[in-house]
Amino acid sequence: MGRLLAAATTVLMLAGAALAQGTNYKCRQGFFECADVVKVGRPSTVEELQAMVAMFPQVKASGVGHSWWREQFCAGNDSRAVNIVTTEQQAVLDFMAAPVDPQQWVGKQVPAGFPIQVNELDEEVTVAAGITQRALLDYLSDYKYWKQRSGWTLPAFSWFLDQTIGGAVVTATHGSSMKYASLAAQLRRLKLVLANGTMLELSPKSNPHLFMAAGVSVGRLGIVTEVTLKIKPQQAVQRRLQARKMQLELGPSPWLSVGSVAGDKPPSASDACPPLPRYPLVQELSFQDFAAQVLETQEAYNAAKQANDVDGMRRALFQASLPASAASSAGWLAVDETQAFWALPTASVQRTDYEHLDHEPLAVLLNAFPASEPVAMSGPEDDVYAQVEKRAVAANSRMALNSRFWSNLYVTQLRNKVAAGTFESRKAFLSMAESETQVTSTFAPYDQYEVAVPISRAGSCLMEVGKEVYGDAKLWDGARTPFLVRFVTEEDFYLSPTTDGPAMYVNMEDYVSRSSGRPNDQFQRIMQLFRQRCGARLHWGKAGWPQHAKCFKGSIEYPSTWCSFGCAVQELDPQGKFASEWDGWKWSATLNGNPIPLASCCTSKGFSPSCQCAARTDC
Ligand SMILES: *[C@@H]1O[C@H](CO)[C@@H](O)[C@H](O)[C@H]1NC(C)=O
Ligand SMILES: *[C@@H]1O[C@H](CO)[C@@H](O)[C@H](O)[C@H]1NC(C)=O
């Protein structure tokens, strides 16, 4: 504690030499950084973290990985603010520096302070918030020396694995699972450091209301230090390409023949690119056909919903609920475990469908992943620091041109990832290898956006957006990487984008504006279309909030769960310690049309149904 106080009252300017490589001490996530006076807190134990939270008036947790939204991840913009790093708990640092093979615990007790505790009996894992998803998944899949000989995995996980698990959970980060939903939906319990520094453990039993608030809380209720997640045995998963519209592509690599399209120059020799692999068989859909498939799913779902036919709603979305023959004759309309890459410039879609198998077939492919290279991380003595500069990824001017070239390059790379086959579940789902993360994060700067469109309008949405994307404005020209389309089912958390029904998520990246120095108007127009025409919600951890959610009105974008979350804030952080720089954390209530303090509508179960959750009136 004495050490902590000394550190807090001295602004330590750290020399670069004192910094361990690979650790980012600037509160920077991607291209966004906090105001220079904001401090960085690096507690090495949970107790120190608690003391630090109690001491500062403005606090926010920082993990590692992606976040494209400064207003949300910066604790504040003056010297009262501290961003507390969750990756420097000693136990986390030790593990990340030298990952442990679970085999080492054979015949021993796992030490109590070890940051990943597997409970095979209850099929759950308790993990420190600062551990990355990748480290957790690798540890689980190697956990095979006791009850479960094939190891364990999370039922669903995200494509980008190198963010801390705490941040991934509380932003409702998701993979492709219609059945298992987001990472938050795997939660059994969590531990949260509150504004006064006390620890609160929450489970659906201990306090269902606060649990529904905390699971997807975007850091607004406190700092999550530990999560307990469901796990399941590793199981074989079959990956199938959408095969209704198979197309043979034996000719030369596609981008060599696209240069004739108006305004599109063929890539020059200086666009040095890797040798072109030739794919004997490429299974692709046109964008039109894909949109039509999603429309059929939407219509089947809506018809069942209208008829109050819960089974029918399930049948519309889940392959598993169909007998195999029906599934194939229905033409793969179900969207459980579906991922689709939409390459905008070529109006083509690669759709992959996954199926969990009961038994591991003999032909499971053990596709190799690059060995993880431990990053040396060791911290200086004290806990609270001034920020230290870190160089940003350099602009890549070639990104500004040739949308078709880039699109085809990325699609070619992705083809390896979606090839059909049967894999261990850890390896079957799309995720980035560590080496790819390093490449994408240094190759060219980009911002990642993601929207969630209700299933009830997902197909119409694609049709409508598609019309403009391929209209006169050529919006497709704003894309470089393919848009990734996935489907995720409903979950109960108040702020989950799927809190009131399943959604189609569309992930998209702007690779142009940061390299060209000009706004990517075509890309932003696509975002705008999703927001205005499709009722799309924004992903809590990704870009677009300042431009596309100005004067955010949670009561309009979300059902009354928005105000239930407000009730949790009233209870746990009435002073707004975790309010961040964002101005959208605002709640209003009315009773019979008259304004009433939110608190008088709050019950132990959340926002009272006799009140109305009202929109803010300050903008
Ligand atoms: C800390 O805050 C919580 C939530 O407001 C409250 O329940 C608890 O009593 C407080 N603890 C102390 C020691 O003040
Ligand atoms: C700091 O944040 C406050 C709101 O929290 C805002 O009004 C102000 O403009 C910000 N100042 C700067 C320099 O960003």
pLDDT in tens, 281-328: 335 789 999 999 999 999 999 999 999 999 888 888 875 444 444 444
Lowest-confidence segment of 66-80, 119-133, 451-465, 577-591 by average pLDDT: 66-80
| Interval between CA 610 and ligand 1 midpoint (Å) | 28
Per-residue confidence (pLDDT) for residue 285, from 0 to 100: 86
State the DSSP H helix or E strand holding residue 205, giving kind and residue range, or none if neither: none
Identify the nearest ligand to the CA of 199 by its number: 1
Q: Is residue 95 part of a domain?
A: no
Q: Which residue's structure tokens are 């955010």?
A: 552
Q: Could you tell me if 456 and 533 lie in one domain?
A: yes
pLDDT at residue 350, rounded to an integer: 86
Confidence band for 372, pLDDT divided at 50, 70 and 90: very low
Q: Tell me which ligand sits closest to the C-alpha of residue 80.
A: 2
CATH number (domain holding residue 187):
3.30.465.10
Q: Kindly state whether residues 128 and 71 are assigned to the same domain.
A: no
Q: Which residues line ligand 1 (CB under 6 A)?
A: 194, 196, 198, 572
Q: Positive or negative, the Cα torsion across 523, 526, 530, 532?
A: positive
Same-domain status, 55 and 120: no
* Strand runs labelled E in 95-147: 116-119, 124-128
Nearest CA to ligand 2 atom 7: 581
**Confidence at 24, pLDDT banded by 50, 70, 90:** very low
For a ligand 2 pocket test, name from 37, 77, 575, 582 the mutation site with the most ligand atoms within 8 angstroms of its C-beta.
Answer: 77
- Say which range, 147-151, 454-458, 521-525, 574-578, has the weakest mean pLDDT: 147-151
What integer pLDDT is reported at residue 401 of this predicted model? 78
Please tell me whether residues 436 and 294 are part of one structural domain. yes
77 Cβ inside 6 Å of ligand 2 = yes
Q: Is residue 13 part of a domain?
A: no
Same domain, 58 and 82: yes
Among candidate residues 548, 580, 605, the one where a domain is terminated: 548
Domain assignment present for residue 143? The answer is: yes
pTM score of the predicted model = 0.83
How many A from CA of 77 to the centre of ligand 2? Answer: 6
The answer, yes or no, to whether any atom of ligand 2 lies below 6 A from the CB of 79, is no
Which whole number is the average pLDDT over 13-25?
29
Q: Taking residues 554-562, report their average pLDDT.
A: 98
* 181/172 Cα distance (integer angstroms): 9
Whether 517 and 474 map to the same domain: the answer is: yes
Is residue 157 very low, low, confident or very high in pLDDT (cuts 50, 70, 90)? Answer: confident
CB 90 within 8 A of CB 198: no
Instruction: Answer yes or no: do 559 and 447 share one domain.
Output: no
Indicate whether 123 belongs to any domain: yes
Does residue 350 share a domain with residue 453? yes
Q: Does 96 map to a domain?
A: no
Residue 462 lies in a domain: yes
- Domain interval for residue 148: 110-235
**Hey, whose CA ends up nearest to atom 8 of ligand 2?**
77
Mean pLDDT (whole number) for 412-428: 66
Residues 426, 507: one domain? yes
How far is the centre of ligand 1, averaged over its atoms, from the C-alpha of 576 (Å)? 14
Q: Which pLDDT does position 208 carry in this prediction?
A: 98
Smallest-distance ligand from the CA of 38: 2
Same domain, 161 and 219: yes
Distance of alpha carbon 263 from alpha carbon 265, whole angstroms: 6
Token code pair at residue 283: 């299974």
For atom 3 of ligand 1, the residue with the nearest CA is 572
